[in-house]
Amino acid sequence: MDTRAIVEPSPGILDPAARVASVDIVIPVLNEERALPGCVRTLTRYLDGGFPLPWRVTIVDNGSTDATWPLARALAAELENVHARHLDVRGRGAALRAAWQDSPADVVAYMDVDLSTGLGALFPLVASVASGHSELAVGTRLAHGARIRRSLRREVVSRGYNALLRYGFGVRFSDAQCGFKAVRADVARPLMGKVEDDSWFFDTELLLLAEHNGLRVHEVPVDWIEDADSRVHVVRTAVDDLRGLARVAWSMALGRAEVAVARPEPEPAHPDAVTLGPRAATVAAVARFTSFAAIGTFSVILYALTYLLLRESWTPAAAHLCALVLAGIVNVEANRRWTFGPRAAPRFSALAFFSTATYGLFTLLRLSRTRK
């Protein structure tokens, strides 16, 4: 018997002909026999209480060895709008990939089984995506207005990791790891084609690719309370995330992170609006060139001044390398902010970093051979 789809929702729940967007809320679980029944009953009771969009809840059991799967089947049989699916492969990313790929809903979302995130943020999360305003929406525990209770260790690790994303990749979202996200289904599928991770880094990689491809990510400050029975191994997950970041940075540097996602150009709402013609694009191109040239000139001046100052007390090779690295970092960050924009930033930053490091290394080697 095929146990991957035990109970389908009633026909009216995710009707493709519905005028409003439908939502599929996925709950990935691994050995969660204690938490699963309370989660699903609480969530469905909340949704039945007046959630304004057609919905269903999908439980994805990915490799449990306890009674999680029998419980998921029982809940799907008991509750009309609950769907159950079993996977032999472990990993939250694998669970989301399987459920989102096959979902008939317009919007696919997920939340953690411990319900650490307050359900009051669910409709604000989904609404920005269902309305067409944003392609992705994420809950954030680090933005102004969020209210959280968690241990110092997780607080430090989370803030450090998200700071690394902001300063290393130039991202604009504040919390990559919050287990509370929603994505337009037609956007999720091409993005998942590029996402390689099937574990905890899945979320971060999805968001990095989304911003790299110019998609709009909406943030919702949430109420969040840490569950002491969490299955997350913080240190091991952090190490895996760092490896994932290195892989994504290399992929962006090689130009392999582009995703073909249909995104219509903005159109004026007023029928008699007078819009700018091709001249506006020319002006924008000239502005980018001027910005690039000005930043390049400033970087050369910064390099020369830094080299002259350091040469008084350092060797010429050391002064040259330090001035080169400083000028390169300033050049990359300035162009990311004022010339190329967020989509080109990660790739440009990675290329500039590798180019600067390689040039500096060859310069040191050349100088060392000259001295010999």
Q: Which residues are catalytic?
A: 203
Are 99 and 59 contacting, i.e. CB atoms less than 8 angstroms apart? no
- Among the listed residues 158, 143, 151, 156, the one whose alpha carbon sits nearest the alpha carbon of residue 223: 143
Residues sharing a CB contact under 8 Å with residue 158, sequence separation 6 or more, in sequence order: 141, 142, 175, 177
DSSP 306-321: HHHHHHTTS-HHHHHH
Gap between the Cα atoms of 137 and 160, Å rounded: 22
Gap between the Cα atoms of 1 and 250, Å rounded: 43
Burial class from Cβ neighbours inside 10 Å (0-12, 13-18, 19+) for residue 120 reads: exposed
Are 90 and 65 contacting, i.e. CB atoms less than 8 angstroms apart? no
Q: Cα dist. 238→136, 204, 211, 232, 337 in Å? A: 24, 12, 21, 10, 28
